[in-house]
Amino acid sequence: MATVISLLNHKGGVGKTTSAINIGAGLVELGKRVLLIDLDPQANLSLSLGIPRQPVTIYESIMGESDLSPFVVRENFHVVTSSLDLSSAEMELVNEAGREFILRELFAGVEDDYDFIIIDCPPSLGLLTLNALTSSQQVIIPLQTEFLALQGLAKIKQVIQKVKLRLNKELHISGVLATMYDSRKVLNRDVVETIKKYFGPILLKTYIRDTVALAEAPASRQDIFSYSPSSNGSKDYMAVAKEVIERTANPIHLRERSDKTTPKT
Ligand SMILES: Nc1ncnc2c1ncn2[C@@H]1O[C@H](COP(=O)(O)OP(=O)(O)OP(=O)(O)O)[C@@H](O)[C@H]1O
Ligand SMILES: [Mg+2]
């Protein structure tokens, strides 16, 4: 049965999509069967992999018009694409009973076909993200190692806690991923130290370095392993994919921290 992981941060531009694609591709390199779900109406994940507009996207499936219809990028690497239509789904579903569980129902039909299902969430905490959280076992929070990285995190933790309590007991934060890290920048080093203090062992050991190839790969419609296999981006995401496998096999059991205060960096 597939392990479902949401990449979540309601802050924009922190590396959710880049991480969903490249953790997914890393897991495929390691022999896993992976399904990526583009749950963002911006469709950045679908566009970054150069997938042409599909007749059935996540929108049609969420609206009950079709089962999931993944696009095959290559063997063991499949993607359910998105489109701008998805932006109206939250409003269209407002009177739908059980609207928080639509994605979970859709996964029931495919969960034996994959080892990992990875969801690229939109930069918001609305109904789409709620669907991602009710259908996931794990959440990975990408954090850009810049000023205000941790701002708003208390809110994310609160939402995850509520979903865990009311809708999905299995849900937990399995990793915080430092992204766009430049060890030459004092600020980046300071922010990582703060994240480490705040999250302890939940912080993944690998930091994703600020790497030009990671920003270029989407323009070539490729994941980092196809675009630049020897780049730091490939090395970092491969290391993260290994950590994801390790954490799935041996989950970190931590008592949730009760402090609600968030450091300022
Ligand atoms: N490690 C990195 N090094 C250099 N550039 C990066 C890195 N990670 C991501 N980027 C670039 O930063 C930008 C934002 O990344 P990305 O789209 O993954 O963020 P996001 O959190 O999905 O954004 P959104 O909230 O809009 O969906 C993109 O242009 C991406 O190519
Ligand atoms: Mg994105």
Give me the pLDDT at residue 150, please: 86
Q: What is the CA radius of gyration of the chain?
A: 17
Residue 221 clears pLDDT 60, i.e. is over it: yes
End-to-end CA distance of the chain: give it in Å, rounded.
Answer: 39
Within 8 A by CB and 6+ apart from 52, the residues are none
Q: Please tell me the distance between residue 6's alpha carbon and the centre of ligand 1 in angstroms.
A: 16
Sign of CA dihedral 133, 137, 54, 26: positive
Average pLDDT, whole number, for the chain? 94
Residues enclosing ligand 1, CB less than 6 A? 12-18, 40, 42, 44, 123, 179-180, 208, 210-211, 214-215, 218
* Tokens, residue 256: 């949730």
The per-residue pLDDT for range 63-121, each reduced to its tens digit, is: 999 999 999 999 999 999 999 999 999 999 999 999 999 999 999 999 999 999 999 99
Give me the pLDDT at residue 260, please: 44
Cβ contact 41:52 at 8 Å = no
Give the SS3 label for residue 67: coil
* Tokens, residue 265: 């960096």
What is the C-alpha to C-alpha distance for residues 56 and 14, in angstroms, rounded to an integer? Answer: 28
Give me the pLDDT at residue 254, please: 58
Cβ contact 62:150 at 8 Å = no
Q: Please tell me the distance between residue 94's alpha carbon and the centre of ligand 1 in angstroms.
A: 31
Q: Please tell me the distance between residue 80's alpha carbon and the centre of ligand 2 in angstroms.
A: 15
Sign of CA dihedral 117, 123, 127, 129: positive
Domains of the chain plus CATH, in order, are 3-260 (3.40.50.300)
